[in-house]
Structure formats: C-alpha cells, structure tokens
Structure 1
Amino acid sequence: MSSATIVSAASLRMRTLSSALEAVPDAVIVFNRDGRILLLNQAAQTLYGFPASVAEGSIVDDLLATRHPHGLQSIRDNLAASGSWKGDVYRRSSTGAELKIGLEWTLDCDEAEFVVERSWDITRLTAIAEQARTASHRYENVFQAMAASFWELDFSEVRRMIGELIRNGVSDLAYHFHNDEKWLEEALRNTIVLDVNQKTVEIFGAESREALIGGNIISAWPSESRHLFADALLHAVRKEQRLSAETVLCRTDGSLFDALFTVCWPPGHEGNGSVLVGVIDITDRKRSEAELIAGEARYRELFQAMSMGLVHLDTRQLWRIFDRLKQQGVEDLRAYIEINPDLILEAMESTIIAEVNNAAVALYGAKCAEELVGESVKGLWSPKGIPTFLRALEAGYNFMPGFEEETEQLRVDGTPVAVRMSFNPSPTLREQGRLLVGLLNISERVAAETALAEVSKSFAHHTRLALLGELTASISHEINQPLTAIMTYGAAAKRLLERPQVDKGKLILIHDQIVADARRTAEVIARTRTMANGQGTDKTVVKLSTLVGESMKYAEHELKMNSVRLSMVFSDEQLTVAVDPVQLQQVLVNLALNAIQEMQKVPHTRRSLTFRTFAEADRIAIEVKDTGLGIPVENFHRLFDNFFTTKATGLGMGLAICKQIVEAHGGELSAHNAGDGALFRIILPAGD
C-alpha cells in the first residue's frame, strides 16, 4: 500500500473519530507519536480553554505545560511497553491556572500510530480528599499529640440511669446528683473509657493506654471533686454543649493534682452516648499563680512601705504620640517642641496616674490616693518644672536608660514642692506602656541651702569688712616706722635751720632720707593693697646680701637708739633669690624691729641681732636671731595669728603679715627658741 493511501485512510479515521468523540463527556485528545495534537473534542476545549484552531498542530505537552513527578519520559516508556498508561499529571489551562489531571493514554497502532488521551479534572476531588485527610490528621494531633489528656467516654449507661430517675418521678435532678452519693458513685462506675491519648497515660501515671481503656473513671475522681461530675451530668441533661472548670483529680497512685477539666458533647454523638473529656495538669500554673499572688502582695507591701514617693504612670497614650512623631521622621524632639510648644501640654494630658503609694499621697498633700489616681500629670507641674518635664520626655523618646533631676512640682492645693525625680524604665514596663517614677521631697534641704546661701552672703560681707580692717591695720603698722623716721628727720632739719650757720650738706642728706622714707611708705601701701586684693607679686632676682643690707638701713635708727649690735653673716654673697624686694624688706624690717623691742627687756650689753644666710639644696635660708628672753612656750601656737600680740601698744598684725608674704613667695616662716633668744627662719626658693 502506498504512503498516500495510508494518509488518506488515516484522515478518514480522524474524521470518523472526531464525530464520535463529540458525544463523549470526558475530555479527549488525539495526538501522534511525536505529541502533535491531531484533534480534540469540545470537552477538552472547555477543560483546557484552548479552541481547536489553536490546539491542533501544537505539541500537547508544550501547549498544556504537562509535568509529572517522575518525568514525562517514564510515561512514554510505559506507554510504548504496554500500549497504555493511567495516572495523574499537572497541567496549565489557557488562563494559567494549574490543574491536576487524571489521564488515561491508549496507543492505537493500526497502520499509523496515534495516542488517544482521555482526561478529567481531579483538582477539586484532590482538595476534598486533602481536606478529609487533614481533618483526620488534625483530630489525631489533637487527640494524641496535644499536651493535654483526652478521654473518649461511653456515657450511654449513665444516660439510661438518668432516664430511669425521670421515669421514677425525680424532678429535681440537681439536688439528686449532688446529694445521692451512692447514685453518683454508681454513675462514675458506669462511665466507661473508650479511648485515651498518650498524654493521659503520662498525667495520670497509668501503665499504658490499654490499662485504662475498658475501665471506668471512678478512681480519677476524689470525693472533693465529685460535685463537678454532678454538674457535668446536669449540663448533659440540659443539652449544653460543654462544661469547663478547675478541679482536683487523682492519679493512679492516689496523689492529687490541680486540673482544668473540660467535657463536651460533640454534635452527632447524642445517639451513641459518647462524650469527649479534656484534662490539663495546671499544678505548675497554680503554683505560679500562688507565687505571683505572693509576689504581688510583697510588691504591694514594699510599694506602700517605701519612704520614697512612688507614682505608677500609664504612658500608653504618650507612646502613641511618640510613635506618631517617629513615623513623621522627628529625630530631635526638643527642636520639634520649640516649633510646636503645644506638644508639652498634650504629653502631660496623655500621661495618666495609675497608682501612688502613701508617701506620694503625703508629698502631694492629697487626702487619699483616689484624689490623684486617674488624673493626668498636668496638675503636678509648676512653670519652673517645665524644663525638667521636657528633658524627661527627651529621655523617654530616645530610650535613655534612666533619668534623675531636681525640680519643682505642685501639691494638689497648688503650693510648690521641691522634689528629686528619678525613673529607670525597664523594657517590660515600657512594652506595657507603664513607668514607675520615684520622688523625694527635698523642700527642707532646698530651704536650708537657701538659708545657708543668705548666711554665706552675710558672712562674705562681714569678711570683707574684717579684711578691710586688717588691711588698715597692716598699712598703719607697716608705715609707722618710715613715718616715724620722716618725723625724726623733719625735727632734725628744723634744728639745723634754727642754727646761725646752716649746714647745707646735712640738710640735703636729711632731705634725701625723708624722700626715701616717703617713697618707701608709698610702696608699702601699694604692695599691701596688692596683697590684700590677692594679686600676684612682681618678683625680681636680687642678691640676698644686698636685700638684707638695704633692709637694715630702715632699722638703723632703732638699732642705734636701743644699743643693739647688728651682725650679718653671708655664706655666699652671690646667693640670689626671686622675690618682691619691697615686700621681703617689710618682713626683714618687721622681724628686726620685733627683736629690738623684745631685747629692751635685757641689759644693753647683751643686745645683739644676727642675720645669717645660707643655701639648702635648691632653697635658701635667712635666719634672724636675737639675744632676748625667747618666745614663751604657750604663745607658739598663736604666734602668727591675726591680732595676737604681747605688746601693750601692738596690733598683732606684724607676724601674720610676714607669714602671708613669705608663703605668697612659695616659702615658709617658722619660729624657734635658740640658746639665749628667739630664732626666726625664712626658707625661700633660690633665685635663677
């Protein structure tokens, strides 16, 4: 037979097959061994959404995106080997929807090989089957895998017992169930276990599920809990679907445990009289609740017993404001408030007082806690405290770990109260929108500090007056000697002028001395004022021998008048010292005059004043020694005090000023008794 004859025969068969397939309700596709679609009936066009004009001539697996878990080649191999294949594949419709398809392929090998495919949509059937399987699996999970005990109980005999009571005229079933203990015990014996899950074995301490199945439940119900079983019977009679309550049940070893008991009568079980019971061991929960209650009681006791004021704030509305601002991109809260000052008032009104302790009630002057609880904090803030409230807002907005500041708040009567406010928000409280604030009443301390400031101000004023007096006394003390010298020189000049023959040379000398003493007086006043003002001294490096020699010129008159021999011993005449020469001369002259006055108490022949200088490492020493009676022991501790003196006309300022000058130069001034007199030692840094 020629190939043309074969094609003609095949075409005739396709036309005949096409007419026959339109009557078939299943989707039918005919394709050749290469998978190219030759024809498809109307049912196939409807199932896949492709019209014949599009589908015919296309490769069937490409057009419908056919796939199989084991691959399409394995299907083709089975088809070639056996001439048929049946199974499930996945395809896509013209809309892109994935379909699960049941296929049946048959290989037609007459003259030309064709495959006739019959297919049907099993997507919906698969979903239903999956739902059924899932429901069964869920039930198995609930019954076997949940961390709760489940019992399926046969309640039919108990129903019969209840029916018998009704037939016997018992109308008050509630009374009968709760008071006829024998009947109730019999009902427990007649409640038979149909099935239990593995958790029941664990909770009740049974040997196995089989040890419980077929038995009754009387051993699980102690006498103190049987009233709940009676309530369950009443619920069954009243056709209420479930009952749940906490009770005490019994393990197989006789030990009791706290349990959450739930019984239900699922729809459809009325006829067979079975019930489903769930039991959860809540021993740990009850223990935790007891500990929580005890902990709460301890917290309440501590909360109220604290001497610090404690305010528990509800900040949930405030956090909503914060969240709103953060969503708007606000990072700098202070800058935002400067532009939107009304936010402060909004934040105050959104912060609510949830709880206060007794100390806080007293601090705010309230009659009771209820006067504060439920109110916003707006009424607690004075205008002076607003900056603190703003900084507290910033701390919360930026999740700072803590905040503490002294501020001013208001009592309920509007009077101000100074407080130290602190809070340290924990993440747990922050998540709950809660904040615990501690408050200390510091009004007394602030009042004391204010009073102390006033006293300090007054004391400073009196101190300035005292310093002014000291300065006056110092000046008068230090210029007394040069002024006395000026008066002496003035009197001498007058005597010379009264003589017939005037000695001009002596007058010029006296004039120069008067000018020098007047200049020294002015310098003393200027340097004393500088020292009193706390200003630094102008130091000059000078030879120590020169400084001592020039100082003694100012004491020369007193030395002669009191017949005092002066000795100056210099270990090295080139030793230098960095000092204010005028001030240190004041010290040396003062020490010399004091020594001269003290030696007036001894005979003239014993009066001797010695100045000695020497070096000690990087320091130099000046010693001033007299041959008087020495310093009384009882006077040593007060010797350099202001206004302490042993002289009838003394001011008690000389040695105090000397010590101040030496210490201002970085040195030390000390007094000792040495042999037959007093010794004053000055230690100073050596000059460069």
Structure 2
Amino acid sequence: MKTYPSVLLAANRDTSIPMALAALIALVVFLIDALTPLDIAIAVLYVVVVLLVASTNNRAVTVAATWGCVALTLLGFVMSHEGGYLNGAAARCLVSLVAIGTTSVLSLRNQAAATTLQEQIQLLNLAHDAIVVHDMNDRITFWNHGAEALYGWTAQQALGQSIHQLTQTSFPVSPEDIKDELLRTNRWHGELQRVRRDGRVVAVSTRAALWRDATGTPRAVLATNNDITRRKEMEARVQRQQEELRSTIDAIPGMVWSSSGDGTLTFINRRWTDMGVTLEEGGSGADVWSAIVHPADLPQMQSAWRSAIATGASFENVSRIRTGTGAYRWMHLGAEPLRDEAGAILRWYGVNTDIEDRKQAEQALERSEAFLADTQRLSRTGSIATHFPDASMWWSDESYRIFEYSREVVPTFDAILARTHPADVATVRGAFEQAKVGAALVDVKYRLAMPDGSVKYVHYVAHLTRPQSGGTEYVGALMDITETTLAQEALARSSAELAHVTRITMLGELAASIAHEVTQPIAAVVACGGAALRWLNRPTPELDEATRSVTQIVRDAKRAGEIIQRIRAMAKKRDSVPAPVALNAIITESAELMRREFEWHAVEVQWDLDEPSPEACCDRVELQQVLINLLMNSVQAMADVSGPRKLRIATGMFDPGHALVSVRDSGTGISEDNADRMFSTFFTTKSEGMGMGLSICRSIVEAHGGRIWAESPATGGALLQFILPIDDGRCHEQ
C-alpha cells in the first residue's frame, strides 16, 4: 500500500530527464567499453540505462533501449578485441548480456504491474465517492479525486497528513470504540462530521475496511466517504416539517385520526391523549371506539362506520365521546378515504370536532323555539317578517294558525288580503304602503273574515330593521285580539250600564235639588199666570202688563222643560256620542242642578272660568256625570266643616292640546293613605258609599283620552283635576 504514492509520482514525472541521462550513460559506457583496454565487464552498466528508461513506464521504449544496450555491448566487444576473442572477454560479454536481459525482463514485468495498478488507481479516481487509505497511525497514503472534490485538498497536500486532524473529524462515538470495532470485525460504518478546506462543515457516510498483511498484522484502513450533507439537511428539513405538521395537527381544535383501509386506528393526535385516550387502550388491536363512544350512541356510530368502510363513502356521525374526566361531550365524527390509482382505499383520515357548545346551543334553541311556540300559542301572537323590496315573508306557526292557512301555503301579502275583512282592506293596504316606503313603525288593527264566516280582530305591530344582506326588513307581531276586543266591548257595555245606574243613583241623591229646581219655574208659571189673569180682568185690561206676565210664563216653562230634559238625558240608557262641548256651559248646567245642595250646605261657589270657554271633544252627558260626581263629593267633604265652606270651580288650558277642569273644596282634605286609592274600584271613605263614583269618573275621562288625579294642597281641602283633549276637528269627522 505504501507504493501507491511512488507509482502516482512516477506516472506524473517528466520522462525527458531519465531519457537524457540514460543516453549519456549509454554513450559513456560504450566509449569506455569500446575504446579502453579495461579488462572488466563494463557493459554490465547498461543495466542502469535499462532501469532509467524503464522508469519512464514506456514498454516500447524500454524494449528498444534493451536491444540498443545489447547491440552496444556486442559492438563494443567486437571493437575492443578486433577479432581476438578470449574466453574471459567472451564470458564477460555474456554476463553483461545476461544482466541486461534479466534487468529488462524484470523492468517490463514491473512496468506491467505498475500499469495494472495505475489503471486500478484511475478507476478509483473515476469513482464519485471519496476513497481514502490511511495507515494504522491515521496517516493518509491514498487520496483519490473524489476525496479532493469532497474535502478540497489535493493528493499532494493530503498524503502523509493525519486524516482526522486534516478534516477535524467529529465522531458520533469515541475514536477508540471505532478502532476496537475495526480490529474486531474488520468493518465499521457510520456518519461523521468533517470540515472542508474552505471551512464548510460536511456530513459524510463512512464505510471502513481493515487490510491485514499475510501474517494478519493490521496494515491500513480503506474508507469510502459519501457526502450526505444535503441528505442530512433534507432529513432535518423533513424532520422539522414533520414536527411542524405534527404540531399543527396537535393544535387543530379536534381529534385528528387516521386508520387503515379496514378501519383500524393507526394514528391519533395530542387532542386524544389530552382527553385520556391512547391507541393502546384496551390492548393491541382493541376497538378504541367502543371504549370512548357513549354506549347509547355506539351501535349507530359503528353501523355508520362499517357502512362507510364497505361503500367507500364519506363517514359522518354525531356521537358523545368520553373525555379524560369521564364526562361525555358531543362530537362530530367525519372521515374521508385516501385511494390509490386503482381506486382501492389505502387509509382513512378523519377528525372529531367538539360540538358540545353548539349542541347545547341547538338544544337551548330548540327549547327556546318550543317555549316561543307555546308562548305564541298561549298569547295568540304570531311572528311575521317581511323583506323588501321583494316583499318576501316568513310566518311563524301561530301566524298560520291565526290566518287558518296550512303550512304548504307560501306567505304573501295577497294571502293576508285574502283573509282581510272587506271593510278593512284599504287600511291593510295603507299599512303595507307605509312599510314599502320605509316607515319606522307599522301599527294597524283590522279584522279577518274567516272561511267559516266568523270574524277575527287582529293587531299587527312591526318595526324596521336593516339586515346585513341588504334591503329593508320588518319584524313584527300579529296578535289575535278577538277575545280581548269582544271582552272590551262587553266591558264597555257593562261600564255604560254601571254608569247609567250610577247616574240614576245620583239623580236619586239629587232628588231634593231637582224638585226644588223644577218647582221654582212651575211656581213662577202659576204666579205669572194669575197675574196675567188679573191684568186682563180689570175694567180696562192692562195688556202690556199681561204680555210681560205671559212672557215670564214662557221663560219659566222653558226653564222647567230644559231641567227635565237634562234629567231625562242623564237617566236614559244610550251610547257614548262624542261632540264638541263648551266646558264653561256644561259646568254651569251641572252647578245649576247642584244649586239646592249648595244652598242647603251653605257652600259658597267661586268661579274662575277661562274665556273664551275651552272646547273639548267628549260626550256631554258623561262629562256632566263626572262634574256632578266631583261637585257632590266636594259638598259632602265639607259637610262636617264648621268654618267657611268654599267651592272653587275653574277651567283653563293645561297644554296646547288639553283643557283643564279643577274642583277645589275647603273640606278635610285627602290623607296620604287614601291618595293612591281614591280612583280605585270599590274604594270609599263614606260609611254608605259603594266606591264606584270616582272609579267611573276615571273610566269616563280615560275613555275620552284624558287623565284625572287628586291633590291635597298645603292650604287645606282637596283639589280634583282632570284634562280632556281639546276639539281639533275629530268630533266633526265623527
């Protein structure tokens, strides 16, 4: 192995010097042998010439040089003896020829071996792998072109150097362990890190073989090195990508898994282990699904999984999965197959997504929808959503029930009109037109004419919204107010009858005052009639005086008739008829009916009537009932007062839209305990009272769109006030 460098050097040496030296030696030997009388075997020195020529490693030139040396030997022998051939000279000539021939044969054999060796070296240089030979002291004895390319040092620079010092070798294990394995097995394979001449670190895969001589003594190590730097970089990159992929898969908010074509789980991500699930659960080959799926959901899940495996269709299932705490959570199980080119399923990839919150929300929504449906059914309130500009609609189940349509009917405005009472069609169309132009609120009450001939009363209220999808949308409630409307009508009739009874009762209480008011004009009529007769029965009738008496009779008769007419109006059962009413006039009339009570109880009436008189839109008789009731309560409140009894009646404007009427007395006032209950039904402070008067007053006032209240001024007494909407033309329209 140590001859490899000399062979390489000989192969690369310049041949001109040996050839010139050989020619010079041949010339000197020939001259000495041919021209000098030396009786020695000078021709033997031609061996040097043959060796010098053979060092050029050129077989043909060596053969030529050998024959040339033979020729020169014979020529020199002839020239030096001139035909006298002695046995000794011939013997010396023969020895020289034998030496030249032997040297030539050996040189040619050595050339053949060197040529073979050089060809082998050239073959080694053709290898892409780096081939390095070093002795047992790590000294480099062979360095091929692959090693030059890999490490950057030439053979001349590397030969004789320590391989590990030259390349700064980093070992995966200790060098002693590697050497021990070489000596034990004659082989070693592993990966090393080395430094190139340019300082770049390379990773090499090394295969080393130990060469021993004939005696078994370790002599050298032959190592082949492959540059695996890029492969290691790719492996590191792939490893990083795999780690990143694994981290990504582990970070996915779901239980990622894969299985073989037959459905056996082969991979699960960290989400499974976080939930206390491993592939080893139940033993090798165990059905993990049966261990983690809720028993109630397992049969359906397994059936769906087996069907997907058998058909190759996508796998979809919703089941409860057991967590590490033992609790079950709803999850969506899904998987898709991976197929080869022939369509055969290689494996399945799936993910289990936690839908517990969504499931809870769905269940809550279902409960909410059920509650809403029950609430709508109980309250008889349906929902209607209308989207513009296409006027598409959505009805709730209760809306279908109110309209008495089946669920197959498409909600439309025409379907609503088909159920609308003919008299209310214009009202409904008007509300729809308001919605089309974008009114903020739609509020309409109308009737439905049902197929069986019945009539329903409904109230629709909707407000405007702006959905993200564009356009405008109204979300509204359709309320079936049939029973409420009928009940209100019945209540109104009952209230009217109660008010009528109350008026009759009130007239009974005012019987003395009424009798006094009627008696006065009748007595005046009788007196004036007697006077008129006397004026006419005189010898000379006094026609002027008689005319004045008759005029007074007509006036008092009219007054009596008006009193009786007002009494009959209060006593008559009739519907409420709103009309423009001058408040000052109705107050004066009511006070006239109460004049006897005022005189009897020594009540001083003070007037503070606004001029011109405010006009309110109300029913005249019902307003008179309110006024008389308030005046009667004030008189009764002052019955036990020993001091002055003053009653102040005033009118005025409460605000631009309402007229104010106030009645203030100097009675005992209103206690704090009774202030909030004065207008409540059946509440009274009188021992024989029914507690209906002020309650009916409140109902009448509120039915006219007004408000009534009571106060207790600091100066004493009670102050009762009510407001009514002023006449703005509505009474004339009615």
Q: Who wins on radius of gyration, i.e. which is larger? A: 2
Q: Is TM (by shorter chain) over 0.5?
A: no
Question: Per the shorter chain, which TM-score range?
Answer: 0.3 to 0.5
RCO (CA 8 Å, sep 6+): is it higher in 1 or 2? 1
